[in-house]
Amino acid sequence: GASAIPTSSGNTERQIELMQDLGSTAMACTPSYFLYVNEVFKKLGISIADDTKLKCGIFGAEPWSEEMRRRIEEQTGIKAYDIFGTSEISGPLFTECTYQDGIHIWADQFLIEVIDPETGEQLADGERGELVVTTLAKEALPLIRYRIGDLTVIRSGPCKCGRTHPRIMRILGRTDDMIIVRGINVFPGQVEAVLMDIPEVAEHYQLVVDREKELDTLRVQVEVTQDVFSDKISDLMVLEKKVTKALQTVLNISARVELVEPGTIPRSMGKAQRVIDKRKI
């Protein structure tokens, strides 16, 4: 079977050495940490595609978009798979198959539902809501209709791989991740999906919510790629307007966009901090 090499986050250069020396073919971590690992590879003058045997990444513990998956795969040459888990049950629980079309549920072990996070009403397949899990075979600390706090959609019906158990679609965010700006619900995942569709911006961003003169404001800081940052100021202004318009179309509110140079936004060895809400400070 496969050998597991347990390492904690941090000391990234040492982890890269281990990856190369031991010929690692898979890596499990948060997607934001993998992006940081890829940055360190570049700083060392090497690449994941050419200088490792890495074939796939298993990423979870924080929401990430389909657009982010596409970028990871294009930049590194690996296949990126989504995994879902929760420490209250047993850590990692469900993951995708090679078709990458939803996270497969072990229906003989877990009963899953999606509910309206405000009313608790059970929702139908295809409706977005909060994931609720009941353990069917757990003898120690069984959980009944346990509210996970993650937002997703259930999809029934067979997968292309042949499995017939239900699937959940990509985690869209957490109920406590949602921020309300001027009466509009905003999820970091919505912002990420927009940003990752714009080639000139990089993968690192942060939302800053504040209150000025009794009015909520949303500021989106996003790094641009190195070649774009070296361009003329006028080109950056055009890009800023492009990002602003794209965000307003999806969010239905105006946000102030700040394009910053690569490396400006703090990197995380664990879960990325996507939102800074200064209204609570």
Domain that includes residue 251, residue range = 179-280
- Domain-located, residue 100: no
Q: Is 150 exposed, middle or buried (0-12, 13-18, 19+ CB in 10 A)?
A: buried
Average pLDDT score over residue span 247-251 = 94
Mean pLDDT lowest among 54-58, 176-180, 264-268 = 176-180
Percent of the chain at pLDDT exceeding 90 = 72
pLDDT at 10 over 90: no
Among 119, 147, 174, identify where a domain stops. 174
CATH of the domain at 225: 3.30.300.30
pTM of the model: 0.80
- Domain-located, residue 2: no
- Domain-located, residue 96: no
What pLDDT, on a 0 to 100 scale, did the predictor assign at position 183?
86
Domain total for the chain? Answer: 3
Q: What is the mean pLDDT of the chain?
A: 92
My answer on whether 254 and 186 are in the same domain is: yes
Distance CA 278, CA 281 (A): 5
Among 174, 199, 231, identify where a domain stops. 174
What pLDDT, on a 0 to 100 scale, did the predictor assign at position 185?
87
- Domain-located, residue 89: no
What pLDDT, on a 0 to 100 scale, did the predictor assign at position 108?
94
pLDDT in tens, 193-237: 999 999 999 999 999 999 988 889 999 999 998 888 877 888 899
How is 216-276 classified by DSSP, letter by letter? EEEEEEEEE-HHHHTS-HHHHHHHHHHHHHHHHHHHSS--EEEEE-TT-SPP-SSS---EE
Distance CA 124, CA 54 (A): 39
What pLDDT, on a 0 to 100 scale, did the predictor assign at position 281?
56
pLDDT band for position 23 (cuts 50, 70, 90)? very high
My answer on whether 76 and 130 are in the same domain is: no
